[in-house]
Amino acid sequence: MSVKFGTSGLRGLSTELVGSVSALYATAFARHMLDSGALQTGSPVVIGRDFRPSSPEIAGTIMAAVKRLGLEPIDCGTIPTPALALYGASIGAAGIMVTGSHIPADRNGIKFYRPDGEINKSDEDAITRLASELKDSAQANMVDAGGGANHEADTTKLFVDRNLGVLPAGSLAGKRIGIYQHSSVARDMLVTVFEHFGATVFPLGRSEQFIPVDTEAVSPDTVTQLARWTDELALDAVLSTDGDGDRPLVADEHGMPLRGDLLGLVTARFLGAAVVATPVTSNSGLEQDGGFSVRRTRVGSPYVIAAMEEALASGELRVIGFEANGGLMLGSDFSIGETLIKALPTRDSFLPALAVLGTAAQRGLSLSALVNDFNLPVALSDRLENYASERSASLMAHLRGSRQQLETFLSPIGTVETVIDIDGLRVTLTDGRVIHFRPSGNAPEMRCYVEAADADSAAALLKQGLSLLASWSI
């Protein structure tokens, strides 16, 4: 069994998660919640899923498993992960979301929530330990097709209503916005929300087959399609999300996707945030903004949430977190005009999209002009798929083995000045360019992040970095 916790939840092949493995981990989670006192017998557990072919069966197995332990499963249907988390918090329920996020359909995953928010790394360790202890238990591995009371409509309404208060009424009137729907569980909610603010909305690319969309490494084919739509329909923007609706994709009037960390920066200003927690992979220009303090973390929502919790515990107010993929987390409540937006410490794709479109409209700027206004270093990222974990581990061990080995590996690109080893290796070269190598925590992929002063230099550096990664052999 090769399923494991990654940067956000449990991940593995769909063929492994369908059946006894999902029953085992749902049982381990439920036992951990009961043992810790977070839940009592009869407590509700909200359960949602994405549109992957394997997700309904996994969700059914999970509902049966939590029912066997005396908990009450609530079926929230196919909804965005932040909507599930919000609904769970509103009724004091734990939550389980069946989703592989942005990875291909041959893989899937399970995200777990305590009644007060996402589980943390200590929770993951406890669940993993319990799963190991229960692996030979027939009851813990029992596969039944369970169900629960259907609360999909209530979950949807709560999340939509939350987002209808983010901008003033009619603030996007006159805007032409495409919604790339593909197989995202957020696709219909996006149409509802942006039509509410007066935009003319064009639903595009709806698919009944699952399409993996990675908002941090948008494929060239997707970028080409976005550009075609903006040109043909004279769009001001195209919006989308990943499969479970917790990472935003915002493309400008030319179909060019905006970086997730730029979305986070704009949202931080939009909300008046005082503290921003974000991984080391986010743009280094954030510290230069000066409007808030920045706390850097490892990649993964549990680390960002932990940093937000530390800031709140130290007395900080107006705390947010975001990742380079654009997913935004609210550590504290925020007031927007007369509207109170309650804390939601899990990734959300709607608030950053609304903040960016609202900011651009309020300033009378196109999205591309808004990007230029912020004048961040040009940051790009991409990945090599099917990069075996053994291969990435071998490479990282070699690069960490000595400064000389790292310098030799990077010699075709430039000279090493400084190295940060928070998560992967982030290297600043003597000419100020940045290159960062990091194995994915969710899939057999190797990621490369770069920064440079201009787009051509960044693109060239990214190409060189990916070439070096491709040439490595064990």
Query: What Å distances lie between residue 258 and 14, 93, 372, CA to CA?
Result: 31, 35, 11
To the nearest whole number, what is the mean pLDDT of the chain?
Answer: 94
pLDDT of 300 reads: 87
pLDDT of 217 reads: 81
Topology of domain 176-374, CATH: Alpha-D-Glucose-1,6-Bisphosphate; Chain A, domain 3 (3.40.120)
pTM of the model: 0.89
> Tens digits of per-residue pLDDT, 207-231?
999 999 988 888 899 999 999 999 9
CA 71 to chain centre: 28
Q: How many CA atoms lie within 13 A of 255 on its CB side?
A: 17
| Residue among 87, 90, 18 nearest 56 (CA) | 18
Does residue 392 surpass a pLDDT of 60? yes
What is the pairing mode between strands 200-206 and 416-420? unpaired
- The DSSP result for 353-417, as a single string, is HHHHHHHHHHHT--HHHHHHHH-PPEEEEEEESS--HHHHHHHHHHHHH-HHHHHHHHTTT--EE
Does residue 183 surpass a pLDDT of 70? yes
CATH entry 3.30.310.50 includes domain 378-471: yes
> Tens digits of per-residue pLDDT, 87-113?
999 999 999 999 998 888 899 999 999
> Tens digits of per-residue pLDDT, 343-377?
999 999 999 999 999 999 999 999 999 999 988 89
Does residue 2 surpass a pLDDT of 90? no
A 10 A CB-CB count for 145 gives 11
DSSP E strands: which ranges in 200-266? 200-206, 237-241, 248-251
Mean pLDDT within 145-153 = 96
Mean pLDDT within 422-433 = 94
CA 255 to chain centre: 21
DSSP bridge pairs for 277 = 295, 321
The one catalytic residue among 43, 54, 101, 284: 101
pLDDT of 201 reads: 98
- The DSSP result for 130-186, as a single string, is HHHHHTT-TTTT-------EE-HHHHHHHHHHHHTTSS-TTTTTT-EEEEEEET-TT
State which CATH number among 3.40.120.10, 3.40.50.300, 3.40.190.10, 3.90.550.10 fits the domain covering 4-153: 3.40.120.10
pLDDT of 442 reads: 67
> Tens digits of per-residue pLDDT, 197-208?
999 999 999 999
Active site residue 101: yes
Q: Residues spanned by CATH 3.30.310.50 within the chain?
A: 378-471
pLDDT of 67 reads: 97
Contact between residue 186 and residue 241 where contact means Cβ atoms under 8 Å apart: yes
**pLDDT confidence bin for 265, thresholds 50/70/90:** very high
Does residue 1 surpass a pLDDT of 60? no
Q: Residues spanned by CATH 3.40.120.10 within the chain?
A: 4-153, 176-374
Does residue 119 surpass a pLDDT of 80? yes
How large a percentage of the chain has pLDDT more than 70?
A: 100
> Tens digits of per-residue pLDDT, 13-33?
999 999 999 999 999 999 999
> Tens digits of per-residue pLDDT, 304-355?
999 999 999 999 999 999 998 899 999 999 999 889 999 999 999 999 999 9
